[in-house]
Amino acid sequence: MIVRFLTIQPFLHIATQAETYLEPGMILLNEQEYPFTPGQTIGELAAACKPAADIFILNGFPAQSGTLIQDGDSCSLIERGAKLTDNEIDALLSARHTPGIHQQIRTSTIAILGLGGLGSAVAGAMAKIGIGKMLLSDYDVVEPSNLNRQHYFVDQIGMLKTSALQENLLRMNPSLSLQLIEEQLTESRLPELFSKVDVLIECFDTPVMKAATLRSVLSKMVDVAYVGSSGMAGFGENNTIVTRMLRPGVYIVGDAISEAAPGMGLMAPRVGIAAHHQANQALRILLGEAPKRN
Amino acid sequence: MNITLNGNTKSFQEISTISDLLHSLELSPGTVVVELNTTIIQPDFYSSTTLAESDQVEIIRFVGGG
């Protein structure tokens, strides 16, 4: 991956995301390299390559069809409401993340235990980056009191969380592979169901199942990396939510003390901090940035 | 009795088993993971596992919410 530095006197412009190095005479068309034709407008390009496109984006900004394309430009031709194929999603993620990282993510398997405030948010983050396979486990249904933090919608009240979340995730990324588990989990079932995943993300509500999961991971699932959770209720400080390593491949996210209780309920912002700690820690494990189990 | 608890030396009076230790610390047995000298102890054995001088105990305690 080569990042271009453009110096425009007197300002220094620094490229802030992964950019493809383009040879002269090439443009980017929907993240793929494509030959540049001098004098071509973006509307003409669309007519040639994607006639159904009705939204044109040129170098990050919406453009009219008569806008001339320049050498090295980046064009997105979008058909409003069109479905993305698995290949298109693959190409988008590969361009955004770089091919090597995309490959590691899409060949990984994770389990998310509990699909509430933490689990639904973790699942969304992992779905968006194109995780290969997710095992999603929860026996419960969507209730109105969940909606202050959980990633469900009013019209999903009464649905099983597994079904509702599957619906939501597939709308974000139709190419996902999901396995839904709807039984109420017990400690003995954990190794039977989750021994083969790369990372197990514990998003339970009850401390009993949280403890059971860590115990099971340490004593019976020696190859599975674990990211657990403890303490994220209320609206206390952001920076007391931390990711702590217990040993290689075993991490706990939270502030360790903020228990959900009357007067200190779970709320989307702070639960979301914890959830995204979990998601990023899982990603770091998968990419070899954080130690796996010994 | 002196034991090492989560890396710190602590002194406890009149405790014999893991159950006693948890009770002394006011920790609910269902909410903790206990490791004694690098072995995970299953909850069924908390009341029958006795502690000895200089034992190394790790207790990870979870609070509810998620």
This prediction's pTM: 0.88
Question: What percentage of chain A carries pLDDT values higher than 90?
Answer: 87
Nearest to B62 by CA among A190, A233, A191, A122: A233
Query: pLDDT tens for residues B18-43?
Result: 999 999 999 999 999 999 999 999 99
Average pLDDT, chain B: 96
Is the per-residue pLDDT at A50 higher than 60? Answer: yes
pLDDT per residue as tens digits for the range A257-294: 999 999 999 999 999 999 999 999 999 999 999 999 98
Assign A95 a pLDDT band (cuts: 50, 70, 90).
confident
Q: Is the pLDDT of residue A9 over 50?
A: no
pLDDT the model gives residue A31: 86
CB-nearest to B63 from A116, A117, A230 is A230
For the cut 60, the answer to whether the pLDDT of residue A58 exceeds it is: yes
pLDDT surpasses 80 at B55? yes
Q: How confident is the model at residue A2 (pLDDT cuts 50, 70, 90)?
A: very low
Contacts of A210 in chain B (CB under 8 A): 31, 62, 64, 66
A124 touches chain B (CB under 8 A): no
pLDDT at A17 over 50: no
Q: Which residue ranges make up each domain of chain B?
A: 2-61
**CATH number belonging to the domain at A5-78, selected among 3.10.300.10, 3.40.50.300, 3.10.20.30, 3.40.50.2300:** 3.10.20.30
Tokens of A39: 């004098």
Helical packing angle, A86-97 and A99-106, nearest 10°: 120
Amino acid present at A239: N
Print burial letters for A52-74: b (CB count within 10 Å at least 16), e (below 16): ebeebbbeeeebeeebebeeebb
Domain ranges of chain A: 5-78, 94-286
At A21 the pLDDT is: 77
A31, burial (CB in 10 Å: exposed 0-12, middle 13-18, buried 19+): middle
Instruction: Quote the pLDDT of residue A5.
Output: 45
CATH architecture observed for domain B2-61 = Roll (3.10)
Query: What integer pLDDT is reported at residue A155 of this predicted model?
Result: 98
pLDDT at A20: 61
- pLDDT, tens digit, for every residue of A152-191? 999 999 999 999 999 999 999 999 999 999 999 999 999 9
Beta strand segments in A84-164, E: 109-113, 133-137
- Quote the pLDDT of residue A14: 41
pLDDT the model gives residue A19? 57
d(CA B45, nearest CA chain A) in Å: 14
**B31, A203: Cβ pair inside 8 Å?**
no
The minimal CB distance from A260 to the residues B31, B42, B64 is found for B64
Compute how many other C-beta atoms are within 10 angstroms of the C-beta atom of residue A15: 11
A259–B64: do the CB atoms touch at under 8 Å?
A: yes
What is the pLDDT of chain A when averaged over all its residues? 93
Q: Is A282 exposed, middle or buried (0-12, 13-18, 19+ CB in 10 A)?
A: buried
pLDDT band at A10 (very low <50, low <70, confident <90, very high): very low
Instruction: Considering the domain delimited by A94-286, tell me its CATH architecture.
Output: 3-Layer(aba) Sandwich (3.40)
A 10 A CB-CB count for A148 gives 12
Q: Mark B4-41 as b/e (b = at least 16 C-beta within 10 Å).
A: ebeeeeeeeeebeebbbbbeeeeeeeebbbbbbeeebb
B43 CA to chain A: closest CA distance, Å?
A: 10
Q: Is A242 exposed, middle or buried (0-12, 13-18, 19+ CB in 10 A)?
A: middle
